[in-house]
Structure formats: structure tokens, C-alpha cells
Structure 1
Amino acid sequence: MGGRDAQLVTADGLTVFEIKSFGRLTSSRRRQVERSLRAAVASAPTMNRWVLVIPMNMSPVRSGIRSGEEAWFDEKLPKIAPGVELSWWGLDWLDGQIAGNTDIQRYIEGVDGQLLERAREFELERAALANGATDLRDRIDGLRRRVDEVSPFWTLDFTVDGSGTTTRLRAKVPDAHIVDPITITPTFRFRRDDPDDERLQRRFESTLSFGGSVVLPAGYVSHVEVDASPEARLLVADGDPLASEFAIRSIRETLPRPLRCSFQVQDSHGQVRTGFPVFFRERTSGGRGVALYGDDAAGVAKFEAGIPRPSQPVGQESAVKLDGARLELNLPDSLVGYDIDSLIPVIRTLAAAVEGTRIRLDMPGLGYLDGGPLQTAAYPALPPIAQVVEDLRRMQDLTGSVLRYPANIKNRDVADLRTAVRLLDGEDVDLDGGLSAGIRPEAVGTLLERLTAAAGEVVTGGFFMASADLQLEVGDLTVAYGPAAIWAPHAQIANLTELQEIAANGSTGREEVTMRLEPTDLSFKWLSRRQAEEHLASH
């Protein structure tokens, strides 16, 4: 490269390095250095510094006499490169650089140079842990240093826990894969008739194509071939590959700014029924393209999109279908704790992905993903959950409070919530079954006389019960619903005999007894919210 073994560009300018292995500077070797300097001046006119790296020091300067090497370097070479700063990095400088880097020493000398030190550490490894955790940490630190010395370019990170020992190959310098490449060729074995294996294989192939992460349990890698330098080869595990787990984890890069996309559910005519924005913030790279990682604005749904490298540039306004792309969407294991406003756009949209609709992800500047018409609902479990979320949104609007998705919701809670919303919408809603009313024991006799005077067990007319502050229980969430009223016509007293005994025997010692009412020819009804408010306002 024109008299340049290496070069470095910094804010101070261009520095060119000339690296020689000479142990002596004979006349012919000096001429080699001079030719290299002339070539550097010719090929790098902006060079402002030139460094000769050589494993020898200049001869000591004797009083009144300049050595030939020093005179040559300080007087002759500057004439070849006027205005260029010249530096000599000799044996002392090299020794100082190597002193703290045992990996480079080993790379140069082999293992023999550290045999005595290794022998001493071997005895320590065999000794008992007399000082407990302190000795353990010292030995682990020693192992870490020794692993780091194996190669100047690669090292192993390792962890030890209850499940065993895990090692991870890591580059020590950014260009390790260039100066000391490692090629690992494993052979994998997946069972074709096993659905779990088929899913794992798809995930594995996707990770190779677009980056990401995948873990193959022990038993999937049948053979491994490694092509690497002798030093790097020592860092690659050697043993029965079937006994080891195999994992690929790509480094995620943060995008300079989030990529805003649109996740949509469209009808059969391509009209958007509903949707929400998705923000991709990270990416990984693979053999075929990149994987983008993001979520909705509240982080409810996690997205992973595998995008093949385009064969030609895509314009900002181009509607190009991304063939070969893939989309993975994951919801949390539980919605408990998410605020309702965050859940609404995501759950509403996914629940709308029913048979005949299409799921589409618009990615500005890239194109779009479209899987075609759905043959079945994409998320069949979501419509009833979507109804609960929508109903909780109504309760949130009613109360003015921020509600979160509750835990421990039962079917009865869901039905009561749906009833409450229908009442808000002005409907009268049939009560499912009968109802109970609390009565003071001393009032039971008088009440029975009035209720059963004409019809016995069936009450003439009906009961009207109202409350100004009904509390609605939805799982572990309590909603202050407010005014509510029930009309129970032609009610039958289901426990009339029990109440008659209480009336005959006087107080039972209880503060309240229960009267159970069942419908006969007419059902009991919750009256609309408006009717309940009107009744309470008039009394």
C-alpha cells in the first residue's frame, strides 16, 4: 500500500507506520526503509507523521559522537520527507507494549515462556479452598486471565450456575473476524414428524436468515467442524456435540430513530377496519436480510419482522409487497395491570382479524407485509376479552378514573359488567334468576302479613329496590357504578316457611335475615340507568 504497512487517521492528521523485523540496520536495510518512506510520501501527500516500528534501539549516544543510526534517522530521513514528523518506536517501546498483554506474548513465544507460572497456578487449583469465597474468586480471576491469554483476538466469557457452565466466544477487537477468522460448520438434526421440532427448525432458519436468537437443546447438533487458527481453535468447545445446548444470539442495534409503521386489519375489499401504529426500534442482521423489533405505543404487543434485502431501492410512496418477509406478534402472558386505554387499540384490532379479513403491516420506505385472506380467526380467544376491555372503557368514562385490567375475573363478573353497560345504554335487562333482600328479624312478621295477605307465597304487585351507589365487582377491581334499580313483579317467596318460623319465634339473635325471591310469570329486571336516576331524584 505505497510504503504504508498501517495508517491511522485522527483529528491530528494522517500517521503512517512502517513495520520492520530487523535486528540490525545494515546499509541495504536502511535503503529499504528509505524507499518505503519515499513511497509513503508519494502515495500519502497528506501524511503529517511517519513512525518506524522496529525491534531494536538506536545505539547509545557517546559524548560528542552521534551514532550512525541516529544521524541517519535524524538527518537523512527528514530530507526525504520534509515537514513530516518522524518517530522511532524501538525495542523498549515494544517491550512496554507487550509487558501487559500476555496473549500477545503467548502468540509470539508459545506456551513455554509461561510454564513456571502455569505450574504454580496448577498447584493452587488442586489446593483446598482454605479461605473460602476469597480463594474461589482468586481462582476464577486466574482462569479468566488465562483464557484471555490464549488468543490476541478472541476470548471466552463463562458463567457457572446451578444448571452448569456456559461459555460464549467474544471478539477482543472489532476486526477479529477479519484478522483471525473462525468458521464453525455444525450439522443439525430435526425430526420431520414432530410439530415442536418443525417450529424450532423454522425459528432456527429464520434466525440464520434475519438474525435474532434461538436456543437448541442438547441433541440437535450431531457434528461440528471448526476452521480457525490454532489459538482460536482452543477456545471452541471440543466434545460430544449431542450433549451440548446450541444457541445463536445476534447483537441488537438501536435504530437512529424509531421506524413508525401501521398494523392493520382490512376487509375483503382492502378497506382498513381498524389498526394501530407500531414502532420498530432495534434490528439484527442475517444471511438474507434484517429483523426489526418493536411494539405498539404502550408496549402491549411485541413485533418481530424479518425483511429480505430488496433487489432494488424502494421509494417512500411505493406500495411494494415484501415477498419472503415474515411477521411474528407476541402478546403478554397476562393482560393484568395494563391500563385500559393502552389495551383498547391492540385488543380491538386483533379481535377484528376474523375469517375473510387480511392482516397488513405498512412499512414506509420498505413496502408492506400481507399474508392474504384469513381462513380462520387469527386470535380466536380475543373477541370475548375485547368485549371486557370495551366495557371497562365505558366504566372508565363513567367514573372518570383510570382503570387497569383486573385479576381473577370470573364469568359472573363478565356478565355483570356487560349488564351495567347495557343499562347505561338505556336498556332494561332481565335479571338472571331471583334475588335476595335483607330484613331485620323484628320486622319479618309485619312484612309477611302485608305481602301474603292476598296471595300467599306469591306477592301481589312487586318489589322495587334502588341504590344510589351500587358497587360493581369485576375480579379484584371495584367500580363505583352509581344509581341502579331492580323491578321484581309477582315475586314468589322461596323461603316463606323459614321466615314464618322466625316471625313466630321472635328474634334469632341475628342482625339481619334473608328473604329469597324467585320470579313466576314475569322476569325480574334491572331498570335502565336513566330510570334509576329518575326514581332516586323523585324520592
Structure 2
Amino acid sequence: MERERVGQPGFDRIVEALVHRMYDASAHVEVVNGRGGDDGIDIKVTNGSRMRIFQLKYYLDGFPTASFKGRRKSIKGSFARATKHRPWEWILVAPSTLTTAERKFVTSLAAGQSVRIQVWDRAQLDGLMATHADLDQLYETAKVYRQERALLMGGTRDVRARVAALGRQVDGLDDHWTVDFARQGETVVHTLRGKHPRAHQVSPVEISLTGNGPLAPELAKAVRRSLGFGLPEEVVLPRGAVESLTVSGPEWLTASHQDVEVPWRPAEMAPGAETEVEVVFLDGRQVTASYPGTLRHLGRGSIGRSVDVELAGGCMQLMIPDHADAPASLRFTFSLEGLEPAAALRLLRIHQRIVAGGAFHVRARAGVISGGDLPAKPEAARKEAAELRRYLEDLEVVQRHCEQYFPIPAELAPVDRITLRAARLLIDGHCVISPFMPSARFILNGQDSPVLRALLSGEPHAVRVECEEFAITLAGRRLDLGPVLFFHPRVTADDAQQALAALDSGHGDGQVVTVRPANKEHFRLQLQSATTRDEPVPAPLALPGFPEPR
């Protein structure tokens, strides 16, 4: 190691790195900036109550008495300042091999002091650097480049200067192309960049892939979308799927590679391109619906072009083949997770438009970007979308009525779905038959009346009960619908004779009476605010797979 070519800044930097490497695991290492005076400390290592002080002296020729007389005075002064901090050990670090007289001078400084003294001279440093061989690369770098910047003594400024200089050298490889580069860990990434807009025409570069057997079905679909139509999704071809990758172009760039993994992602949109668009659905020339969106990507692939539009909460990808007879295809992906019903309904309506099929286009202020005619999806898909929409509409109405807003529940039991549907119909002013009310229980207060005795007579009678509070529980929340009326025109009482006997004996107070609608029917419900003089007609729940209650 040629320390004389490193210079003092490089020497100091390497010793600092060495001390950190040796003591960081067990002690606190602090390198002192000497601007304005270092107070006798270049490096301080603290381990509990013990302190080591390192003093660095870049004396390549040592400090003999016959010459460099000021050096011994400097060492002595540094030691004196260091002892004010009461160190446990003081270590002098110098790049030369000390003579016996020089070593004796250093150790004599401890006379009358409680401090230990050590010397790290050339031999000691060589041994330590052999143990930590990777640090030796700093010296080798300095030897090769013979410049202070090789050690990056200027920090990030030197990094920037070195990289820029290397970039200028790379720029000289070709008149039309250059290579940008970046380091990611131990990997160096090269990015080919044209020097001018016509680089690909003047000096074409082609990348050829040779496959190794058929791709997995999902990977094949992804390759078709990305490479075939230019959609902005990254596709990774694993090593087993690629036999070779060949780059053809300028001589310095041309090469063939085997055993490679190939990640592929189409180029991004040019900056400044218009991004505000509308997705418009048509019936002939009539606009039936339009939704604002953001144009994320316009792509071109080997078999067609693509349009990628972001809609609030969803993504629409349109693929248009170059062949005129081939139909366009549209993929709409969305998630309702975390959305409130109102926001989810908007996405679902777009989905229903796509499922129903028909004409549409994507347009910007400058005009239509793309469009086509979509085939209708199977009837089962349309029914599924319609049922989901009804559920979201029911939930939105109930939330708005109760002024309680929350995201769509991740799961909904069938019982909750029935309850939600009934609640929505009640809010809309309808009368509903509750499948959960086949009977009702009353507790008598001991008072007798002809109406009560008629109910207990065994003959069916009408019952109307006003409840000032009626609530349902959904997704762990109590939702109050307001005052409700429950009733039925033909009700009979269980254990009527027992209740009559209790009334006759004056012990009717506390007697429990259970009443049931006739013919195994259920009680009707209606919000009190919606009642009229007319006999209400129950509205059907109309839930697929669930029989209507009677």
C-alpha cells in the first residue's frame, strides 16, 4: 500500500473507517472535525467509563530529532491536550515505521500519567488492514487514479463529479445512442437512451426473444396485453421461459444472452399529454351515460393498440387489434373494499354498462381517442351485477335515512340481507311482511277490557301496535328507523283460557300472552309516518332465492 500517494485526507479517512470497523460493535466511535482545533482528539472511542483517544499524524518520514523538530513538539502538545479529557488509553497513528528512538519518545510521554499509550505505525496498520482487507480497496483506488477524488473526500460532490465524468466517456461510444447507468446494491443497471428523436430510425436497435416452450396460461395473457397491445403492466419472463435474448444494433451494443430473466414494461406516456378524458356510453348517437376519468396510458404493441383510463376506484383497459375484423376488448377492474355505497354504486353502474354491451368511446377535449362496440356478457353476469346494485342501493338508502355512513361490509349474512331489504322498503313508505315476526308477546297489567276479552275469545281479531322506536342491527351498528306500526288483520292468542282465568280471579297483572297471525302468517310493519287510512298492501321483498313471507 502506497500511503504517500493517498495524502493526509485519504490517510485520515481510512484510519477513521478502520477504527469504526474495530470498535463500532462494542463502543461509541466519534470522529472529531478538527476545524477550529480538535482539543487533542482526532477520534474518540467511548466504552462505558473508558475512553480511547486516537491522534493521527501524517508523518511519512517519522519524527527524528535531527530533522522535522516541530513534529515532536506537535505530538507532545496533542498528548497534553488529550490528557485533559482523562483518557484510559492514548493511541498515536502514523503511516511510517517508527525507529526505536521515536517509539521511546512516544511511550515516555506517559511518565507520571495514569494513561496507557500505544502506537499504530506502518507495521501495525498493515496487520490491521490485512484483517479488514476490504478497506484496502480504498488505498488501491487511490493508487490507480492518483487523485484525491478517487477516495471521494469531497463526499457526494465527488460522487457526482466522478459519475458525470464517466457518463461523458460513455456518451462518446456512439453518435446516436448512449447508456445511462445506475448502481442498485451490487447490480449495475444500464438504460439505453437515444441522443436525438431520430436515433431509432438512423441507427435501429432490435431486441429479439427466443422462447423456451409454451408459457403458463396467465403469463401468456399478460404477455399478450403488454407486448401485444402495449398496456402498462410489467411482465416478467422467468429464466425457464427464455432461451435467449439478442440485442442487434451498433457493434458495441450487439450481443446475445442466455439464462436471463426478462422484465418488460411499455414506455410511459410523454409528459405534457392531455390526461382529462370522458368514458361515454352510446345508444346510436344518443349519450346514455358518461364518466370522467384520467388517461394513464396510450400504448402500441405488436398486434394492436391500447388505452388505459383510471376512473375513481377503478381501471378501464381497452385493447384494439390492428386487424379490422377482430373485435375490441375491454377490461374493467375495480374494488369496492373500503368504499361507501354511494361511491361503490358509481363503479357498479359503469360495470353494468360494460356487461350490457353496446357502443362507447373515450374522448378528450381534442376529440375521440378510441372506442368500439362491446358484446353483451352472459345473462348470469348481468343478473349478478343487478343484484349487487340492488344491495348497494338498499344500503345507501338506509345509511342516508339514519345518517350513519360506513364502508360496505366485507360480509353480509342472508338474514342481514333480508333485514336490509325490509328496512329499505319501510323507508320508501311501503308495508312489509316481516319473516322474523311470526308471533308477539304481551304482558298484561291487570286491567280488563272488552277488547282484551275479544282477543282472548279464541276467534281471530285485528291487532295494531304502535312502537315509538324500531331499529335494526347491521355490520355491528344499530340503525334506528323511527316509530313503526306492526299489525295483522287476523290474530289469535295462545293460552287464551289461562289468561281469561287470571283476569277473572283478579290475577291478570304480569300474565304473558302470545299472539300469532292466523294461517302461519307473519306480522306486517310500516313506519308510522307512512300510514294512511287505506289498508296497506305489503310490498314483496323480491330477493332471489328467498321465498316471500306470508
Per the normalisation by structure 1, the TM-score is 0.51
Tell me which residue corresponds to 1:474: 474
The Cα offsets for residues 113-152 of structure 1, whole Å up to 9 and x where unpaired, read as xxxx99936989xxxxxxxxxxxx99xx99x969977944
Worse-matched range after superposition: 218-227 or 429-438: 429-438
Tell me which residue corresponds to 1:227: 248
Give the conservation status (yes or no) of the 8 Å contact 2:280–2:287.
no
Rounded Cα–Cα distance in structure 1 between residues aligned with 2:183 and 2:329 = 34
Give the conservation status (yes or no) of the 8 Å contact 1:255–1:282.
no
| Aligned equivalent of 1:331, options 326, 334, 343 | 334
2:206 is aligned with 1:183: yes
2:351 is aligned with 1:369: no
Tell me which residue corresponds to 2:300: 286
Output the amino acid matched with 1:387. R
Tell me which residue corresponds to 2:521: 523
Cα drift, residue 516 of structure 1: 7.2
Cα drift, residue 468 of structure 1: 3.4
Q: Which has the larger radius of gyration?
A: 2
Give the conservation status (yes or no) of the 8 Å contact 1:264–1:349.
no
Output the amino acid matched with 2:179. W
Rounded Cα–Cα distance in structure 2 between residues aligned with 1:279 and 1:246 = 29
| Aligned equivalent of 2:422, options 419, 423, 441 | 419
SS at match of 1:388: helix
CA shift in 2, pair 1:451/1:279, >3 Å: same
The Cα offsets for residues 201-249 of structure 1, whole Å up to 9 and x where unpaired, read as 43244344x6553333443222211235676569x9x5513xx353324
| RMSD over equivalenced CA pairs, Å | 5.3
Give the conservation status (yes or no) of the 8 Å contact 1:284–1:291.
yes
| Aligned equivalent of 2:179, options 154, 160, 177 | 154
Cα drift, residue 292 of structure 1: 3.0
Rounded Cα–Cα distance in structure 2 between residues aligned with 1:430 and 1:529 = 13
Structure 1 runs not aligned, ≥5 long:
1-116, 125-136, 311-320, 501-505, 507-511
CA shift in 2, pair 1:148/1:386, >3 Å: farther
Rounded Cα–Cα distance in structure 1 between residues aligned with 2:194 and 2:515 = 81
Give the conservation status (yes or no) of the 8 Å contact 1:431–1:526.
yes
Output the amino acid matched with 1:251. E
Report 1:283-322 matches (<5 A).
283-287=297-301, 291-296=306-311, 299-306=312-319
Report 1:130-279 matches (<5 A).
151-152=170-171, 153-157=178-182, 159=184, 168-171=189-192, 175=196, 182-189=205-212, 191=214, 195-208=217-230, 212-227=233-248, 238-241=257-260, 244=261, 246-253=263-270, 256-264=273-281, 266=283, 270=284, 274-279=288-293
Output the amino acid matched with 1:409. L
Rounded Cα–Cα distance in structure 2 between residues aligned with 1:322 and 1:166 = 46
The Cα offsets for residues 312-370 of structure 1, whole Å up to 9 and x where unpaired, read as xxxxxxxxx997654321112xx133233333333134335566x52533534345311
SS at match of 2:307: strand
Rounded Cα–Cα distance in structure 2 between residues aligned with 1:187 and 1:448 = 95
CA shift in 2, pair 1:449/1:166, >3 Å: farther
Rounded Cα–Cα distance in structure 1 between residues aligned with 2:235 and 2:362 = 27
Give the conservation status (yes or no) of the 8 Å contact 1:391–1:417.
yes
Cα drift, residue 437 of structure 1: 6.0
User: Taking every aligned residue pair, what percent have the same amino acid on both sides?
Assistant: 15
Tell me which residue corresponds to 1:360: 360
Rounded Cα–Cα distance in structure 2 between residues aligned with 1:226 and 1:457 = 98
Output the amino acid matched with 1:329. F
Tell me which residue corresponds to 2:70: none
Give the conservation status (yes or no) of the 8 Å contact 1:468–1:484.
yes
Cα drift, residue 389 of structure 1: 1.8
Output the amino acid matched with 1:258. T
CA shift in 2, pair 1:285/1:353, >3 Å: closer
**Matched length:** 360
Give the conservation status (yes or no) of the 8 Å contact 1:423–1:529.
yes
Rounded Cα–Cα distance in structure 2 between residues aligned with 1:477 and 1:361 = 42
Structure 2 runs not aligned, ≥5 long:
1-133, 142-154, 172-177, 502-506, 534-550
CA shift in 2, pair 1:231/1:271, >3 Å: closer
Tell me which residue corresponds to 1:487: 487
SS at match of 1:485: strand
Output the amino acid matched with 2:491. H
Worse-matched range after superposition: 182-191 or 271-280: 271-280
Output the amino acid matched with 2:309. G
Cα drift, residue 383 of structure 1: 1.6
Rounded Cα–Cα distance in structure 2 between residues aligned with 1:392 and 1:262 = 27
Rounded Cα–Cα distance in structure 2 between residues aligned with 1:248 and 1:453 = 83
Give the conservation status (yes or no) of the 8 Å contact 2:332–2:351.
no
CA shift in 2, pair 1:183/1:369, >3 Å: same
Give the conservation status (yes or no) of the 8 Å contact 1:354–1:376.
no
CA shift in 2, pair 1:446/1:252, >3 Å: farther
Output the amino acid matched with 2:358. R
Tell me which residue corresponds to 2:43: none
CA shift in 2, pair 1:351/1:211, >3 Å: closer
Tell me which residue corresponds to 2:431: 428
Output the amino acid matched with 1:276. S
CA shift in 2, pair 1:248/1:377, >3 Å: same
Give the conservation status (yes or no) of the 8 Å contact 1:219–1:245.
no
2:393 is aligned with 1:395: no
Rounded Cα–Cα distance in structure 1 between residues aligned with 2:139 and 2:511 = 84
Give the conservation status (yes or no) of the 8 Å contact 1:470–1:482.
yes
The Cα offsets for residues 430-480 of structure 1, whole Å up to 9 and x where unpaired, read as 1114357687xxx57969999997888979536544433433333255544
Output the amino acid matched with 1:291. S
Rounded Cα–Cα distance in structure 2 between residues aligned with 1:480 and 1:347 = 28
Cα drift, residue 388 of structure 1: 1.5
Tell me which residue corresponds to 2:106: none
Tell me which residue corresponds to 2:346: 345
